[in-house]
A and B are shown apart, each in its own frame.
Chain A
Amino acid sequence: DGGITQSPKYLFRKEGQNVTLSCEQNLNHDAMYWYRQDPGQGLRLIYYSQIVNDFQKGDIAEGYSVSREKKESFPLTVTSAQKNPTAFYLCASSIGSGTGGGWTDTQYFGPGTRLTVL
Protein backbone atom coordinates (compact mmCIF):
# COMPACT_ATOMS: atom_id res chain seq x y z
CA ASP A 1 0.00 0.00 0.00
CA GLY A 2 1.29 3.42 -0.90
CA GLY A 3 0.79 6.13 1.63
CA ILE A 4 2.07 8.38 4.33
CA THR A 5 2.35 7.24 7.94
CA GLN A 6 2.87 9.08 11.19
CA SER A 7 3.79 7.70 14.55
CA PRO A 8 2.91 7.65 17.30
CA LYS A 9 -0.81 8.46 17.10
CA TYR A 10 -0.80 9.88 20.64
CA LEU A 11 2.21 11.31 22.45
CA PHE A 12 2.52 12.66 25.95
CA ARG A 13 5.44 14.80 26.97
CA LYS A 14 6.56 16.40 30.18
CA GLU A 15 7.45 20.06 30.09
CA GLY A 16 11.11 20.61 29.26
CA GLN A 17 11.46 17.48 27.14
CA ASN A 18 12.15 17.28 23.45
CA VAL A 19 10.08 14.82 21.42
CA THR A 20 10.37 13.62 17.83
CA LEU A 21 7.38 12.87 15.63
CA SER A 22 7.89 10.43 12.80
CA CYS A 23 6.64 10.88 9.22
CA GLU A 24 7.33 8.35 6.47
CA GLN A 25 6.03 8.17 2.90
CA ASN A 26 6.41 5.55 0.18
CA LEU A 27 4.82 7.64 -2.57
CA ASN A 28 8.17 8.66 -4.03
CA HIS A 29 7.25 12.30 -3.41
CA ASP A 30 9.94 14.96 -3.36
CA ALA A 31 8.14 17.48 -1.16
CA MET A 32 7.11 17.01 2.47
CA TYR A 33 5.43 19.31 4.98
CA TRP A 34 4.65 19.62 8.68
CA TYR A 35 1.56 21.42 9.92
CA ARG A 36 0.15 22.22 13.32
CA GLN A 37 -3.59 22.29 13.96
CA ASP A 38 -5.16 23.74 17.09
CA PRO A 39 -8.78 22.99 18.06
CA GLY A 40 -11.31 24.53 15.71
CA GLN A 41 -8.63 26.09 13.56
CA GLY A 42 -7.00 25.60 10.20
CA LEU A 43 -3.53 24.29 9.49
CA ARG A 44 -0.40 26.33 10.04
CA LEU A 45 2.82 25.43 8.26
CA ILE A 46 5.80 24.64 10.49
CA TYR A 47 8.47 23.45 8.05
CA TYR A 48 8.59 22.14 4.52
CA SER A 49 11.14 20.38 2.35
CA GLN A 50 11.12 20.31 -1.43
CA ILE A 51 14.09 17.99 -1.81
CA VAL A 52 16.37 15.77 0.26
CA ASN A 53 18.86 17.62 2.48
CA ASP A 54 16.98 20.90 2.11
CA PHE A 55 14.15 22.43 4.12
CA GLN A 56 12.63 25.84 4.81
CA LYS A 57 10.85 27.44 7.72
CA GLY A 58 7.12 27.91 7.50
CA ASP A 59 5.00 30.41 9.38
CA ILE A 60 5.53 29.02 12.90
CA ALA A 61 8.96 27.35 12.94
CA GLU A 62 10.12 28.67 16.32
CA GLY A 63 10.62 25.85 18.82
CA TYR A 64 10.66 23.15 16.14
CA SER A 65 13.39 21.46 14.11
CA VAL A 66 13.40 19.02 11.19
CA SER A 67 15.77 16.95 9.09
CA ARG A 68 15.46 15.46 5.61
CA GLU A 69 18.24 12.91 5.23
CA LYS A 70 16.15 10.49 3.20
CA LYS A 71 13.45 11.11 0.60
CA GLU A 72 11.00 8.93 2.52
CA SER A 73 11.40 10.48 5.94
CA PHE A 74 10.81 13.94 7.44
CA PRO A 75 10.90 13.78 11.26
CA LEU A 76 9.81 16.77 13.35
CA THR A 77 11.34 17.53 16.75
CA VAL A 78 9.30 19.61 19.15
CA THR A 79 11.83 21.20 21.45
CA SER A 80 11.46 22.52 24.97
CA ALA A 81 11.64 26.01 23.46
CA GLN A 82 8.16 25.59 21.98
CA LYS A 83 6.00 27.39 24.51
CA ASN A 84 2.66 25.81 23.72
CA PRO A 85 3.27 22.48 21.99
CA THR A 86 -0.02 20.75 22.77
CA ALA A 87 -1.67 20.35 19.36
CA PHE A 88 -2.49 17.97 16.51
CA TYR A 89 0.45 17.60 14.13
CA LEU A 90 -0.05 16.65 10.50
CA CYS A 91 2.55 15.59 7.98
CA ALA A 92 1.92 15.75 4.24
CA SER A 93 3.75 15.04 1.02
CA SER A 94 3.37 16.05 -2.62
CA ILE A 95 5.00 15.16 -5.90
CA GLY A 96 6.95 18.40 -5.83
CA SER A 97 6.90 19.09 -9.52
CA GLY A 98 4.61 22.09 -9.33
CA THR A 99 7.20 24.57 -8.20
CA GLY A 100 7.31 27.54 -10.54
CA GLY A 101 5.01 25.84 -12.99
CA GLY A 102 2.06 28.03 -12.15
CA TRP A 103 0.27 25.37 -10.21
CA THR A 104 0.53 23.74 -6.84
CA ASP A 105 0.56 20.06 -6.04
CA THR A 106 -2.16 18.16 -4.27
CA GLN A 107 -0.95 17.24 -0.81
CA TYR A 108 -1.43 13.81 0.73
CA PHE A 109 -1.77 13.75 4.49
CA GLY A 110 -0.86 11.28 7.19
CA PRO A 111 -3.29 10.40 10.02
CA GLY A 112 -1.70 12.86 12.45
CA THR A 113 -0.07 12.77 15.88
CA ARG A 114 -1.79 14.30 18.87
CA LEU A 115 0.80 15.72 21.25
CA THR A 116 -0.11 16.59 24.81
CA VAL A 117 2.26 18.27 27.22
CA LEU A 118 1.62 17.30 30.83
Chain B
Amino acid sequence: SQQGEEDPQALSIQEGENATMNCSYKTSINNLQWYRQNSGRGLVHLILIRSNEREKHSGRLRVTLDTSKKSSSLLITASRAADTASYFCATDGGGATNKLIFGTGTLLAVQP
Protein backbone atom coordinates (compact mmCIF):
# COMPACT_ATOMS: atom_id res chain seq x y z
CA SER B 1 0.00 0.00 0.00
CA GLN B 2 1.23 3.49 -0.72
CA GLN B 3 1.60 5.70 2.30
CA GLY B 4 2.22 9.02 0.67
CA GLU B 5 0.73 11.12 -2.00
CA GLU B 6 2.60 13.91 -3.70
CA ASP B 7 0.98 17.05 -4.92
CA PRO B 8 0.96 18.24 -7.62
CA GLN B 9 1.27 15.17 -9.84
CA ALA B 10 3.08 17.30 -12.41
CA LEU B 11 4.72 20.72 -12.34
CA SER B 12 6.21 22.79 -15.15
CA ILE B 13 8.31 25.87 -14.41
CA GLN B 14 10.96 28.08 -16.02
CA GLU B 15 14.63 27.90 -15.15
CA GLY B 16 15.44 30.13 -12.20
CA GLU B 17 12.02 29.76 -10.61
CA ASN B 18 11.41 27.88 -7.38
CA ALA B 19 9.59 24.54 -7.34
CA THR B 20 7.54 23.33 -4.41
CA MET B 21 6.08 19.87 -4.10
CA ASN B 22 4.11 18.45 -1.21
CA CYS B 23 3.75 15.03 0.34
CA SER B 24 1.00 13.80 2.62
CA TYR B 25 1.14 10.53 4.52
CA LYS B 26 -1.24 8.52 6.63
CA THR B 27 0.43 7.00 9.68
CA SER B 28 2.98 8.15 12.25
CA ILE B 29 6.59 8.10 11.11
CA ASN B 30 10.14 8.02 12.43
CA ASN B 31 11.48 9.90 9.45
CA LEU B 32 10.65 10.98 5.92
CA GLN B 33 12.96 10.89 2.93
CA TRP B 34 12.89 12.52 -0.50
CA TYR B 35 14.25 10.79 -3.59
CA ARG B 36 14.74 11.89 -7.18
CA GLN B 37 14.34 9.73 -10.29
CA ASN B 38 15.48 10.71 -13.75
CA SER B 39 13.46 9.12 -16.53
CA GLY B 40 14.16 5.41 -16.84
CA ARG B 41 16.76 5.40 -14.07
CA GLY B 42 17.06 4.36 -10.44
CA LEU B 43 16.21 6.60 -7.52
CA VAL B 44 18.73 8.85 -5.83
CA HIS B 45 18.42 9.89 -2.20
CA LEU B 46 18.16 13.64 -1.66
CA ILE B 47 17.47 14.33 1.98
CA LEU B 48 16.15 12.73 5.18
CA ILE B 49 14.23 14.57 7.89
CA ARG B 50 13.49 13.02 11.26
CA SER B 51 10.14 13.26 12.99
CA ASN B 52 11.55 15.63 15.63
CA GLU B 53 12.88 18.04 12.99
CA ARG B 54 10.80 20.75 11.33
CA GLU B 55 13.10 21.97 8.58
CA LYS B 56 16.25 20.83 6.86
CA HIS B 57 18.44 22.30 4.13
CA SER B 58 20.83 20.76 1.63
CA GLY B 59 22.22 23.05 -1.06
CA ARG B 60 19.25 24.35 -3.08
CA LEU B 61 16.87 21.96 -1.32
CA ARG B 62 14.71 22.84 1.64
CA VAL B 63 12.47 20.27 3.29
CA THR B 64 9.84 20.95 5.92
CA LEU B 65 7.92 18.47 8.02
CA ASP B 66 4.65 19.01 9.88
CA THR B 67 3.85 15.85 11.81
CA SER B 68 0.59 17.30 13.13
CA LYS B 69 -0.67 17.60 9.55
CA LYS B 70 1.19 14.50 8.36
CA SER B 71 2.74 16.45 5.53
CA SER B 72 6.10 17.48 4.13
CA SER B 73 7.22 19.84 1.40
CA LEU B 74 10.29 19.93 -0.81
CA LEU B 75 11.41 23.29 -2.17
CA ILE B 76 13.98 23.50 -4.94
CA THR B 77 15.27 27.04 -5.32
CA ALA B 78 16.67 28.59 -8.49
CA SER B 79 15.74 25.54 -10.53
CA ARG B 80 17.80 24.34 -13.48
CA ALA B 81 16.89 22.27 -16.52
CA ALA B 82 18.91 19.44 -14.94
CA ASP B 83 16.42 19.32 -12.06
CA THR B 84 13.86 17.85 -14.45
CA ALA B 85 12.91 14.53 -12.86
CA SER B 86 10.30 12.79 -10.74
CA TYR B 87 10.46 13.41 -7.01
CA PHE B 88 9.19 10.91 -4.44
CA CYS B 89 8.68 11.10 -0.72
CA ALA B 90 9.14 7.92 1.32
CA THR B 91 8.20 7.17 4.90
CA ASP B 92 8.95 4.33 7.24
CA GLY B 93 5.40 4.02 8.51
CA GLY B 94 6.66 4.34 12.09
CA GLY B 95 7.56 0.66 12.22
CA ALA B 96 10.66 -1.12 13.45
CA THR B 97 11.83 -2.25 10.05
CA ASN B 98 13.84 -0.68 7.29
CA LYS B 99 10.93 -0.77 4.87
CA LEU B 100 10.12 2.44 3.04
CA ILE B 101 6.72 3.31 1.68
CA PHE B 102 6.89 5.51 -1.39
CA GLY B 103 4.45 8.13 -2.56
CA THR B 104 3.13 8.49 -6.07
CA GLY B 105 5.64 11.14 -7.13
CA THR B 106 5.69 14.63 -8.66
CA LEU B 107 6.98 14.98 -12.20
CA LEU B 108 8.92 18.26 -12.42
CA ALA B 109 9.76 19.77 -15.80
CA VAL B 110 12.09 22.77 -15.81
CA GLN B 111 12.00 24.63 -19.10
CA PRO B 112 15.27 26.28 -20.20
How would you classify the secondary structure of chain B's contact residues: helix, strand, loop or mixed? Answer: loop
B interface residue count range (under 10 / 10 to 19 / 20 to 34 / 35 or more): 20 to 34
Please state if B104 and A102 are interface contacts (CB–CB under 8 Å). Answer: no
Contact with B along A95-118 (1 / 0, CB 8 A): 010111011111111111010000
How would you classify the secondary structure of chain A's contact residues: helix, strand, loop or mixed? Answer: loop
A58 in contact with B48 given A111-B41, A112-B40, A112-B42 (CB within 8 Å):
no
Q: Which of A42, A96, A104 contacts B2 (CB 8 A)?
A: A42
Q: What CA separation (Å) do A81 and B92 show in the bound complex?
A: 30
**Interface membership of A44, Cβ < 8 A:** yes
Q: Which 6 A-B pairs have CB atoms at the shortest separation, nearest pair first?
A: A109-B42, A104-B92, A42-B102, A43-B102, A100-B96, A109-B43
